[in-house]
Structure 1
Amino acid sequence: MKKIYKYSILACAILLTACQPKSEPKTPEDKPQDPPVAQPTEPTLRGETVKLQVTLPECKGNTCPDFTVERLQTNFPFIDQLLDQQILDQLSKILDVVGAGDSAASSPQTNEQKQSLDIQAQRYANSFIKIDEELKALSSSHQISLMIKPKILQPKGKLATVVLNSSSYLGGAHGSTSQRYYNFDLAHQKQVQLHDLLLPKQKAKLDKLAHDAFKVWIVDAKLANNPEEYEQAWPFQVTNNFLLGEQGLILQYGEYEIGPYVVGLPRLVIPFSELQGVLKSEYLPKVDTAAASTPVATDTRKS
C-alpha cells in the first residue's frame, strides 16, 4: 500500500511539472544593454539683455531725453565682465564728444561703485541730462538720445560672436552709430583677436586681400574712379573689428574710418575661397570631400 501511495505522489509531481508554462529562451534583445556613451556637448553661449537701472528726471513730451543702456547676462562670466567694460568705454567715448565723459569718469569711485554697473552708468546718465538741460536753455527743441545694446549673433561653433550696437544724438548736425564685434573661444574661455585666426607669416597676405577688397568697394560704391586718388583723402587701414560670415571674413569699419559720414559703417568681405592658406583650417568652412570627389555624370549621347 505504501508503494502505491509513493507512486501516486510521484505521478502527481510529474503531471504538475508538465503543466507549467515553458519559459521562452532569451533573445539578444533581452540581454542587458550597455549604457549609452555620453557625447561631449558643444559649449553654447546663452543669455539675455538686461536694462541698466538709472534715474532720469520726470519729463513729458516728444523732446524728453532717451537714455537706454543694456548689458548682457550669460552663462560665461568672463564675457559679461568684458562687455560691461566695453559698455563703459562706449559711454565715455560718446559723451567725450561734448566733453562730458571726463567729468563723469573723474568722479571718485568706491569699491561698491566699481562693482555696480548701474551706479557707474548713472554717473554718465547725469552728464547726459546736463547736456539736455544746456540745449534746452538755448531754446533747442531737439530730442537727444543714447542707446547701447549687446546681442548674441553666433552662440556656438569655433567662434561665438556678440555684437555691441550703439547710437547717439546729442544735438549736433547728425547722430552717430557703431557696431563692434567680439569673438570668443568658449571651450578655452578667451577672446579671439583677428591675428589669432592667421596661419604663421600670413599677416601681409591678409593685409593685401583686405586692401584689394577696399579698392573694389571704392569703385562699387562709386566713391571714385581711381582708388589711388581716393586713398589720398581716406588712407586704408586694416581693422581688428571682424566676424566670420557665411561667405567669408567680414571687416567692419566705423564712421569716418575709411570714408566720409555718408558711407555709414562700411564693410569689406574677403571670400573664404581667397583665405585658403591664410586662415587656420578650423576657421574655414568644412568641405564635403566625399561629395566633391563624386564624378560628374556626362552625356554620352551623340548629337
Structure 2
Amino acid sequence: MKDKLSTAKHLITSQQHSNKLKPFKVIALSVAMACAVSACQKKPEPEVEQTQAATAEVGLNATVKDVPIQLPECEGEVCPEITIQHLSSNYPKLDQAVDLYVLNYVKNLVRGFDMTTVSNQQRQDEKSDGQNPVADAKAENAQEQDSTKSIEEINTQKAQSKEQAENQPDQLQPFVDQFLLLAQEVKQLGSSAKLSLFLKPQVLNPEGPIVTVVVNAENYVGGAHGSAAQQYFNFELESETLLSLDEILVKGQRAKFNDLAHQAFEQWIMATQPDMDVDEYQELWKFTSTDNFYLSPTDLILQYGEYEIGPYAVGLPRLVIPYKYLQGVIKDQYLPVQAKAELEKADAQKTEAQKANSANSDAEKSASK
C-alpha cells in the first residue's frame, strides 16, 4: 500500500514537470517574476482558428469523427473524460499524419507512469516518438512521389488509409487503458480530481492549394493544472506533401527568417509582459526556433508549446510575422492568395505614389524656370 501511495503521488505531480520544463529555470523565474508573471495565475486560452466549410467540388473533403475507444462503466463526478477524434479525408497521407500525432501524444502522455500494462518494448519505442510530428509523418509515409498515379494505386492508398483508421482504436486502446489506471490510482487516494484527455483535429482553409489541419490537445492528469498543445499540419494538395518550414523558405533565407522570428519574439514580450524589460525576460527564457507554423491569410504564425519560450501563465505563445516582411523569404507559391493580393495592392500604391512625387517634382522644376 505504501508503494502504491508513493507511485500515485508521483503520478499526480509528474505532469507539472513535463513539456520540456526545466525545474531550476522555473524556480528562478518564479522568484524574478513574482509580481510580473505568476505561474499560478490562469493562463490564456489557446487560440482557435476559424473553420471554413469544405466543398465537394475542390480541395479537401474531410470529416472529424470520434475514435471508438473502450471505456469502463463509471459513475460520479470524478469519472475521467476522454474524447479522441480522427480525421477522415480524401487525402490519406494527411489522415495518417494526424493519426500518428494523436497516437504519439497519448503514448507520451502516459510515458514514465509505472503501470503494469507498459511493456519494455513500448517504453523503448516511446523514446523517439512525437519529437517532430511532420518529420515523423514523412518517415511513416516515405515513398517515391508520382504525379501520374493510376486509379489502382489511388484506390490502394485509400484502402490502406481506411485500414489504418479501422486499426487506430486497437493502437490507442493500450495507452488509454494506462490513462484509466492512472485515474483509478488518483480516485483511490480520495482525490476529487477529474482526469481528462481531449484530442480534436480542426480543418483550416480546405480549398487549398495549401490546406492546414490543427490538432487541439488538452489533458489533465492531476496536480496544479492541466496541459494543452496545438500542432499544425500544412499539406500541399497538388503534390500530396506535408510541408516543413524549410521547404517553404527560399534557399539561403533561413537566417533572415530566424531574425524576423526573433524580432517577433521581442514584440511578443513587450505586448504580453509590459512591466518587464525585454533583455531581462530573455535571460530567463531564451528564444528558440520552432517548425510548428501556420500560413494564415494575413501572417505567418509560429506556434509554441508550454514552457518553450515562457512560463505556464502565458499559455501557448504564438509569434506573428506579417507577410510584408517575408517577401523574398517565403517562396511565392506558398503565399496565401489573400496575402498576394494585399502585397500586390501595396506595391501598386507605392508605384503610384512614386509617380505622383516624380510628377510634382517635375512640375516644381518647370515652374521655377
Q: Secondary structure at the match of 1:141?
A: coil
Number of positions where the alignment pairs a residue of Structure 1 with one of Structure 2: 256
Q: Following TM superposition, by how much is the alpha carbon of 1:158 offset from its aligned partner in structure 2, in angstroms?
A: 2.8
Q: What is the rounded CA distance, in whole Å, between the counterparts of 1:55 and 1:132 in structure 2?
A: 15
What corresponds to 1:75 in structure 2?
90
Q: 1:270 matched to which residue of 2?
A: 321
Specify the alignment match of 1:64 in structure 2: 79
> Any idea what SS the aligned residue of 1:237 has?
coil
The structure that is helix-richer by fraction is 2
- Structure 1 residue 157 displacement after superposition: 2.3
Match runs of 1:1-303 below 5 Å = 43-96=58-111, 98=113, 103=118, 106=121, 116-222=167-273, 225-284=276-335, 285-287=339-341, 292=348
Instruction: State the secondary structure of the residue aligned to 2:194.
Output: coil
Residue 146 of structure 1, CA deviation: 0.5
Does structure 1 retain, via aligned residues, the 8 Å contact 2:78–2:187? no
- 1:104 Cα deviation (Å)? 6.4
> Structure 1 length as normaliser, TM-score?
0.77
Extract structure 1 runs of 4+ deviating beyond 6 A: 112-115
Alignment check: 8 A CA contact 2:301 2:318 kept: yes
Q: 1:224 to 1:277 in 2, by over 3 A?
A: farther
- Tell me: higher relative CO, structure 1 or 2? Use CA pairs within 8 A at least 6 residues apart: 2
Report the residue type matching 2:250 in the other structure: L
| Partner Cα separation in structure 1 for residue 320 and residue 103 of structure 2 | 29
Determine the C-alpha separation between the residues in 1 that align with 2:223 and 2:57.
47
User: Which shifted more, 88-97 or 258-267?
Assistant: 88-97
Whole-Å Cα distance in 1 between the matches of residues 164 and 61 of structure 2? 27
Structure 1 residues 252 and 139: CA distance shift in structure 2, 3 A: same
CA RMSD of superposed structures (Å): 2.9
Shift, 1:211, TM fit = 0.2
CA distance in 1: counterparts of 2:91 and 2:79, whole angstroms: 36
Q: Provide closer, same or farther for how the CA distance between residues 48 and 113 of structure 1 changes in structure 2, counting only shifts above 3 A.
A: closer
Q: Structure 1 unaligned segments of length 5 or more: list them.
A: 1-40, 299-303
TM-score by length of 2: 0.64
* % identical equivalent positions: 41
**Larger Rg belongs to:** 1
Task: Kindly state the Cα deviation for residue 61 of structure 1 after the two structures are TM-superposed.
Answer: 1.9
For structure 2, the 5+ residue unaligned runs are: 1-55, 124-162, 357-369
